[in-house]
Every structure is written in C-alpha cells, then in structure tokens.
Chain A
Amino acid sequence: MDETRALTVARAAVEAARAAGAGDGEATVTVAQRFSCEARDRTVSKLEQSTAVSLSVRIFIDGRKASFSTSDLAPENIRDAMARVVAQARFVQIDPHAGLPDECGSIDVAALELFDDALRARTDDARIADALGLERAIRDADPRILNSGGSHYADAIVTAALANSRGFSGVHTGTRASLSTSPVAIDGRDKRTASYGTAARALGDLEPVATVASIAVRRTTDLFGARKPPTKRLPVIFERDVAASVLHDVFAALNAANVANGNSWLIDRVGERVGSALVSIIDDGTLARGLGTLPFDGEGSPTRRTVVFDQGVLRTFLYDTYHARRLGARTTGNASAGGIGPNNFFLQSGSQSLADLIAATEEGVLVLDTIGFATEHATGSYSRGARGFFIEGGELAYPIDECTIAATFPQMLAGIDAVANDLRFDGTVVSPSFRVAEMTISGN
C-alpha cells in the first residue's frame, strides 16, 4: 500500500466515523514492511518478513471520546465497528478539553531525511550476511564467547497517513535499520550475558558490525568474577545506555498525562531549579535523521524543538493537545499512539570523556546495566538492581552485581556533577554518560 492509498483509506475511515454519528474523527493508517533476521552460530535461526497494515481511529461526539483500532480494513468491518464505537461513546463523560487540535500542520518532510534509499535497495542476502557476520564477529572476539542469544539485523519501511475531519491530511514514510547481539560468555561454571545494539534511519549511520561486536563482547566478559559491593553512599556514574534508561523515567515525570493525574514528582515545579547547571534536556522532533523525528505528531500537530530543562531549571512539561488544554498550556507536538511520547529526547552532552569521569572519581560505582522498572512516578523514588564496576582511586577496581542503587530523582538530577561527551542518537530517548554525586548502594 503506497502513501496515496494509505491516505485514501484514512480519509474514508474519517468519513465512516462521521456517517456513524461522530462529530469529529481522526484516522491513522500505518503500513510497515518489516524484515528481521537472527543468526546463531553459523545458521540463520529466524527469518521474518511481512507487511502489516493497521488503522486507528479516534472519534469525538460533543466532548465524548472513543477509539477504535483494527487490522481488518474491509469497509463493512469499519462501518460496523464505527456504529459500535459511537454507541460506546455515549457512556463517556463530556470533557470540554477532548477534541482535535485547533491547529494542525506539518513541517517540511524533505529536510528531515527520514528515508534512506540504500535500505530499500538492500538485498535479503546482504541483510542476512550482516546478522551472520555479527554472530561470527562476537565468537571470534574472545574464546570465552561459546554461545549467543542471537545476532540480529532488522529493518523497516513505515508509512503513516493521518487524516481528520477538520481537513488536515498528511503522510510520511521513513526507514529504520538495527543491528544487535547478545553474546554468552562461559568461564568454568560462570555464565554471563549482555547485549548491545545500534539503530538508525540510514544504513550508513549504523555503527559498524565490528564495533557492535566488540562492545557487546566487552560488556559480557567484563563482569566475570563480579561480587557484591559494600552497602554505603557513593558517587554513581551511569554509562550512556543506562543513563538513557534514567532519562526514560525523567520523561515519564514530564509526561503531561502523568502530571495531570498527579503521578509526577515534577508537579508545580515549572520555573524552579530542579537539576544542577549541567542538566539541559531537550525534546526535538525536527532533528535530521533522528529516530524520533517526524513532520507532525500523532494527532497532526507540527513537531518542534522544546527545551525542557535549561541548565537545571524546569521550563515545561511535554504535551499533546488534550493535556495542554487541561493544564492551560500549548501542545509541544508529543502526541503519540493515543498518548504522549518522546520525539528525540536527550540530555545535552558535556565536554569530558567517560574515562575522565572515572578518573575523577576517588571511590564510586560505574553502572553498566540496571534491571527493574518504575510503576509510579509520584514519589520520585528510584531503586534498581545494578551491575558494573566498583571504582577506587579513579580506576575500575572490580566488577559488581547483585546490588541496588537508590535515591530520589530530585536528588539525582540536582546531584549530576559531570556529563560526558558520548551522546549518540541511536534511540528516541538517549543520553551521554553522567555522574551523580551520591546514591545509596545496597550490597553486603
């Protein structure tokens, strides 16, 4: 299904919604051509290839909101479903803030470089060769890599067409490719896994196979002999991938839906200094080639660059139209899949290398990986299982695991006293490595 056809289906769905009794309607048609390949040892263990088409519709009847999603694009299915959704919507409370955006629009798609022709031209053999090559590279890199959870190459061409009953329609097509691997290292009875990956819109922006392999292998073998650290308060350095996971939690607290529902530790703090002067956090939907870059967001508002934290001062939350209206603000172009999501959300780089940060830490912890996740964001508490290294005298002294690191987000953001220069835009939420002056380490 090409862009024109996707737009036609979206417009027809809006018409069907109106015909069923909806005052306003918005339809998004997504067409995704996906390829993925997994290699284990010398064989292709998985090969998947499909084109998926899906439709999602939001309808509004006098401030009553309902939504519908389907993979069945048959007009009679859509017509029947619309009648059902309209009937369901009658039970919804009127909400004066619900409705389509007042202003829709799109920024210039061409400047965003969403599409890589080289990817479309790729043969299946070349894609499979990447997965096999990555798998070979991790096994050749270290004799202790005796197994793997698979080496993957995947790519996708995704078209999204959005139409609404106020006359907006827009469409964009973007590409995405990724390489990832999970080596398994075995040393006697000790078995370790880790993983590393790279992703980009253009094939040429992916880190090379050899780089992905060597980082993944180092992460796997580095932790042999890991033990519990002592329980005490120490500086903690977050390496960039795990730093990005901290930023995911920061995003959740900035999400206006969480703010509106009282589920954010940042409520009532706009204009205040929350972080240290090193904390400048940006959400940018316009960054050329960014994985989170789009000409318009999930409800047809143009994307933009938003300074969220400016040298520690909280400037704004991140909004879609509905929550902007509820909280008396303007959308920041962050509507995504029926909720609020990041465009390219990142902490601005510092000037030092990660090695500089380690060297400047007398005693502390370098965290390479965390497990666990937050289920609520109101209290701003942070506690995760962690793995990494104990630092003594500015050097990595010994690997650690089976411990937790804990603090509150206000303490962590205010405590960021060094930011590294290793930011890479290989996801939609990314961060350079950074150091927090003090956290509670729980081990022995």
Chain B
Amino acid sequence: MLDRQTFDRLLSLALAHGGDFADVFCERRTSVGFRLMRGAIHETSLGITVGTGIRVLCGESAGYAYSDDLSFEALERAARTASLIARTAPSGTAGRIAVAPREIHFPYDTRHEIARDASIYVRMLERADTAARAFDPRIVAVNATVTDEVQEVWIASSDGALVHDRRPLVSFGVQVVSNTNGERGNGFHGDGGRTSLAFYDVTTPETIAREAARRAIVNLEAIPAPAGEMEMIVGAGGGGVLLHEAVGHGLESDFNREGISLYSGRVGERVASELVTIFDDGNLDEERGSIGVDDEGIPGQHKVLVERGILRGYMQDRQNARLMNVTSTGSGRRQSFRVMPQPRMCNTHMPSGESSVDEIIASTKRGIYAKSFAGGQVEISKGDFVFMVAEGYLVENGRVTAAVKNATIVGNGPDAMTKVVAVGNDARLSSRHYTCGKGGQYVPVGVGMPTVKISSITVGGTADG
C-alpha cells in the first residue's frame, strides 16, 4: 500500500519531538456478507475499509492519529498530530529509521480470496435453512448469515521492522426459533475461522444448522432455571468462555501494569486449584483468534498463563511489556486502524485433566451443567463475572435430568478457579464464532476447555431454589 520510503518518512516525523517508539499501521479490509431470513436471501453487504494509524509511545503515554486518506499530506498531518504526545511527556529520541521486511510464519493460508461468484454463499445459506426446518416440525424461524473477509495489514515500526499479514476470516452462523403452544426456544450455532470456504465441505451448512435446531428444541422443552448456590459442570469446548472472562481478561498486561487487575503483581503465586492450567495461543492453525503477527508486528505465539494453579505471566503488548521490562507476547491487537492496539487474548484454552465426563456427572449431587454460554462479562479489579447459559441442564444425584432455560451464572474468577475440583480428559476447542469486546473494540477470538467441575457457584434463575 505504502512504499518503504513513505514508512521511513512517517516514522521520522512521528518521532520528531522525541518518544520511545513509533509505528505506522496500514490496513485494507474487504468483507462480503449475506443474510437469509424467512427462507430467502434478505440482504447483502460489501464493506471496504482503508486507512492508516500512526502512534507514538513515550514513557507511559501514547499519542495517536489516523487517516482514511492515504495521500502523503494527510498521512504527514497524522504523523505530526501523533508526535505531539512527546511534548507533554518528553523522553528519548530515535535516530534515522529505515524499515526492512521480516519473514513470518502464518497459521493460515494468506492467499484466501473472497468469492466473486456470490451464488456460493447463497447456496450455503439455503442448505442451512432446509436442514434446520427439516430437523423438527416445531422449528418456526431460521435466520442464517455468512461473512467472508480478508484483512490485510502492513506494520512499520521504529525498531526497523516492516511486516505484512493477510488474514482471512469466514464465519457462518444459524439462529433457529422453535415454537409450540406459545412456548419459544432459541438456538444458535456458528463455525468458521481463518480458513477458506472449503472448511464448509467438512463442517457442512447442514451440520451447523442441525446443531442450532437441536439447541432450539432443547430450550423449548427446558424448565426455568433454579436460583441459589449449587455445583456447576462446565461443558467442554464452549465452556472456555469461562476461562476467557473469569481469568483471561484479568491477565491482560494493561490492567496489571496499571495495578487495576486483581492479578497485579501476583506472577508466581497460586491463583487457582492445581488442576488448572491455562494457555493463550496466537498460532493455532486456522483458529479465529490466530494471527501471523499481532497488530504491532510481533508473531503470534504460545503463552502459559496459569500452570497447575500458579500464575506464570500476562499477555503483553509492546508498550506495557517495555514498561514492565519484559518482551511482548504478540498480544497487541486492535479492531481497525481507527484505534490503538490493546493487550488482548487470541485463543484461550485449558488442556485435558484426568477425569472422565461420566465420573464428573456421577459425582454431582445437585448442580447445573452449562454446556455452552451465550456470552459473559467480567469486572477486572475484583474478578466478579456473569455468564448467560445458552444450553444448560440440571444434574441431580449424579444424573443429568431436565434442560433449564434463562440461567445466569454469577461468581468471582479467582474464587471459582480455586473451586475447580475436577478436570475432564476431553479438552477441545470450541466451534469458531466468538468475538471479544474490550474498551469498545471487537476482535475475533477462540476458546476451549475440557469438561470442568466447580464445587459451588450462584445461579440466578426465577424458579424457587
């Protein structure tokens, strides 16, 4: 998009007033989407985003400006605006900058192209619609979407690196509504990743649609969730949302460098039951949260966050890593050129333990079995979290009994992690449809975990406990 001399010139301008580091993030993103409703294609969209963001880091401060306009005059203005931060917080100066390309390993095929033949997407949606309706006569509505995107980034930084990443992202989601005698059930399922449409030759639109339909039928037959404290079994795969919210956000380095997170200054300490190990990986093949390089040009990598209950480290971006005297873990991610990067998760997951799922269920007297979550949220300083259960069951005297609906789980991250009393031998990554929000920025992520049992949690339902 921009030539090397332009990157050199912009970086020099950005550091004209001083500063420790500067980078230029140039992005071109194209995405195509189709939506099916009431049995037919309802709408389609095309998005093309182009722009450049320029950032200057200066001690604990950051200056930022961006431009949608790639003319040199506009970029020069952005570089000068970003440079102003160094006036309010003076610090070192950089010498002459000459960027050079770096080689990168990509955990996905960077050659992916959006299909020019739109009928491919249309056919996928129609197949999903047919399969979901055929699943059960009580299915009354099917809403399906497909999006196909390529985000191409060029990142030049004042340490001399120029990197290029080209990130494909396909996603296919099906929302199904069931209805009988005025009762409604909802079911959602989605899958995709940093892959090509060939993914759907194996994980077919029919497979995804039937899973969504199955969930809609389960919820149709579900009873109101109980209220109060009880045991909880977290389902393999999608249960990983629990790790993401209850622990992951608290281990992002900005909250820790700033002393806001409850995990601040606790590396080396016990923060969870010794059954708990948590990784964050940026380089798993074709996962939604994978990256060739992060949005600061650092390769995606494997990070050990928690090892047998001991906190091992945080997820670092460049600025926080430098201020904490460690190296970046390739966790600097951003939604687009319009915003500065933040330390973020990639694919957060837990490896297998020793227990079988049958043992875990059999050991549970009275609890809730949350097979998947519809979403969650965490408060960073104390670790309080909430999750909405998408598919949940009651467990009574060692047996899964009735499906429950509208269950909300509330708890505290560190408290819940010390109450992990069993970890299953069935670790797997969830189907790929999660997007994480932080400070108004949304990025695709992956989650995964084995079946896990937590000895006590608060369930917020409306039925009497």
Contacts and interface: CB of A to CB of B under 8 A. Distances in A.
Contacts of B34: 88, 91
Given A44-B61, A383-B407, 8 more contacts: A50-B65, A66-B43, A72-B48, A92-B40, A93-B42, A193-B380, A262-B184, A404-B460
A381 B61 CA distance: 44
Interface residues of B, number: 78
A48 B441 CA distance: 15
Contact of B410 (A40, A65, A71, A404): A404
Contacts of A405: 460
8 contacts: A47-B63, A54-B68, A65-B43, A91-B44, A371-B386, A374-B388, A375-B388, A383-B462
B180 interface: no
B460 A93 contact: no
Given A71-B49, A406-B408, A44 B88 contact: yes
Contacts of B374: 375
A430 to B, nearest CB: 20
Nearest to A191: B381
Nearest to A90: B118
Interface stretch (A77-85, A101-109, A357-365): A77-85
B227 A92 contact: no
Contacts of B407: 383
Contacts of A402: 384, 410-412, 458
Contacts of A231: 227-228, 465
A68 B388 CA distance: 33
Given A53-B69, A191-B262, A91 B462 contact: no
Contacts of B340: 46, 48
A48 B406 CA distance: 41
B227 A371 contact: no
Contacts of A53: 68-69
Interface of B: 32, 34, 37, 40-51, 59-69, 78, 81, 84-85, 88-89, 118-119, 122, 140-141, 143, 177, 184, 186, 227-229, 258-260, 262, 338, 340, 374-382, 384-388, 390, 405-408, 410-412, 458-462, 465
Contacts of B140: 262
A23 interface: no
Nearest to A53: B68
User: Of residues B44, B49, B384, B390, which shows the largest number of chain A Cβ atoms within 10 Å of its Cβ?
Assistant: B44
Nearest to B336: A71
| Interface pairs A-B: 10 shortest CB-CB | A404-B460, A93-B40, A385-B386, A372-B386, A383-B408, A442-B227, A71-B68, A193-B381, A385-B410, A88-B44
Given A49-B81, A147-B258, A383-B462, A40 B60 contact: yes
Nearest to A93: B40
Nearest to B464: A440
B60 A373 contact: no
A192 interface: yes
Contact of A373 (B47, B258, B377, B458): B377
A444 interface: yes
Contact of B68 (A52, A65, A262): A52
Contacts of B89: 43-44
A69 B49 CA distance: 8
Nearest to A80: B48
Contact of A184 (B60, B68, B381, B388): B381
A155 to B, nearest CB: 15
A85 B46 contact: yes
Contact of B78 (A50, A85, A228, A378): A50
A405 to B, nearest CB: 7
Contacts of B40: 92-93
B227 A91 contact: no
Contacts of A383: 388, 406-408, 460-462
Contacts of B259: 147, 184
Contact of A404 (B81, B260, B458): B458
Contacts of B381: 184, 191-193
Given A47-B85, A88-B44, A262-B140, A71 B50 contact: yes
Contacts of A45: 60-62
A193 B41 contact: no
Contacts of A324: none
Nearest to B458: A442
Nearest to B177: A262
A403 interface: yes
A170 interface: no
Given A70-B49, A231-B228, A372 B388 contact: yes
A81 B50 CA distance: 13
A128 interface: yes
A405 B410 CA distance: 11
A93 B408 contact: no
A228 B118 contact: no
A23 B54 CA distance: 41
A336 interface: no
Contacts of A378: 177, 184, 186
A374 B406 CA distance: 10
A69 B407 CA distance: 38
A261 interface: yes
Contacts of A50: 64-67, 78, 81, 338
User: Of residues B48, B119, B407, which shows the largest number of chain A Cβ atoms within 10 Å of its Cβ?
Assistant: B48
Interface string A368-404: 0001111110110101110100000000000001111
Contacts of B143: 261
Interface in A9-56: 40, 43-54
A228 B458 CA distance: 10
B46 A68 contact: yes
A370 B131 CA distance: 39
B379 A40 contact: no
Contacts of B378: 371
